[in-house]
Amino acid sequence: MPKIKVRNKVELPRFVPVIRLTDERSWFWNDLPLPWIVVRLAELVKDKALMQSASSCGLHDFLGFDGKILLSTVMEDELLDGLTPKDYIGMINEIKPDATMTPDSYTYLDDPLCLSWEQTLKQAVFSRVFSELDMPVVGIIKGVIWKQIAWSAERAIELGCGSFAIPSRELAEEGLLDGVISAVTTALSKGKEDAQLLLYGLSYPVRKRSEFAYSGLSWFIGAKNGLYYRGNASSLVTDASISSEECHCVACRGRMAPQLKDDIRSLALHNLLQTVGRFG
């Protein structure tokens, strides 16, 4: 059994942008200070040439980024099924992020309970191998019932994690996130009171508690779909209601919203600034 290390808590800002390795229009560290970004392992698993390029020099040199990089292991079910603990450790050591999440798993409410327990147990077994890594590890907490969620949190605490993550987008869409947050915070309060909790996949605050961190890519996806962010709201960039609205952020520089229609990079930066502003 691997020796368990005491790991440092990952000190994330309130919002950490997820970026796309394959689209430089989501890279903004030369335009504004970004202490942390999130990179998705799934992109590298899907693209062998991309993995080779990132492995040859490490993520920092590949991106030209001198801040901190958190590796997200959240990915599609079919990709998860193709990976072994040895695969994770090999890829992480090659691409050299500053911190990584533990492996993801898939658990669904409409599956028999034995299947969700099987996935929860598999995730815990895979996660123990992350003790070999010489970097902070953020424990992903999964489960479909309170007992599974608490058990998953306890295993992450045993691993030595000081920071934890809930993949949150689908939970929020299904109206289940608040209950899961309550279950996780209750479990963490018994063994890790100073833990930081990352709501991964969300770009808007769901609770007033300032200790939660958030991370998402919707600001960039929205820009690609022609959405213009205004605080907590968004409109199509061609919407008549904002046709004469000027913005003086570093992306817009006095331009009106419709003028960003064909400038996805500027629109994405505008949306990112608006997203960061949601968190004060």
What span, in angstroms and rounded, lies between the C-alpha atoms of 1 and 176? 35
- Give me the pLDDT at residue 6, please: 47
* pTM for this model (two decimals): 0.92
Tokens of 141: 């907490």
The per-residue pLDDT for range 14-40, each reduced to its tens digit, is: 999 999 999 999 999 999 999 999 999
- Give me the pLDDT at residue 111, please: 67
The per-residue pLDDT for range 75-89, each reduced to its tens digit, is: 999 999 999 999 999
Name the segment(s) of the chain with CATH classification 3.20.20.105: 15-216
- Give me the pLDDT at residue 8, please: 64
Amino acid at 188: L
What span, in angstroms and rounded, lies between the C-alpha atoms of 194 and 238? 45
Residue 234 pairs with which residues in a beta bridge? Answer: 229
| Mean predicted confidence (pLDDT) in 193-198 | 84
What span, in angstroms and rounded, lies between the C-alpha atoms of 204 and 185? 19
Q: Dihedrals φ, ψ of 67, to 5°?
A: -85, -155
Is the pLDDT at 137 greater than 70? The verdict is yes
Q: Report helix, strand or coil for 8.
A: coil
Is the pLDDT at 98 greater than 90? The verdict is yes
Of 2-11, 96-105, 140-149, 246-255, least confident by mean pLDDT is 2-11
Kindly report the three-state secondary structure assignment for every residue of 114-163. HHHHHHHHHHHHHHHHHHHCCCCEEEECCCCCHHHHHHHHHHHHHCCCCE
Which one is the CATH code of 15-216: 3.40.50.920, 3.90.79.10, 3.40.50.720, 3.20.20.105? Answer: 3.20.20.105
* Most confident residue range from 37-46, 100-109, 194-203: 37-46
- Give me the pLDDT at residue 146, please: 84
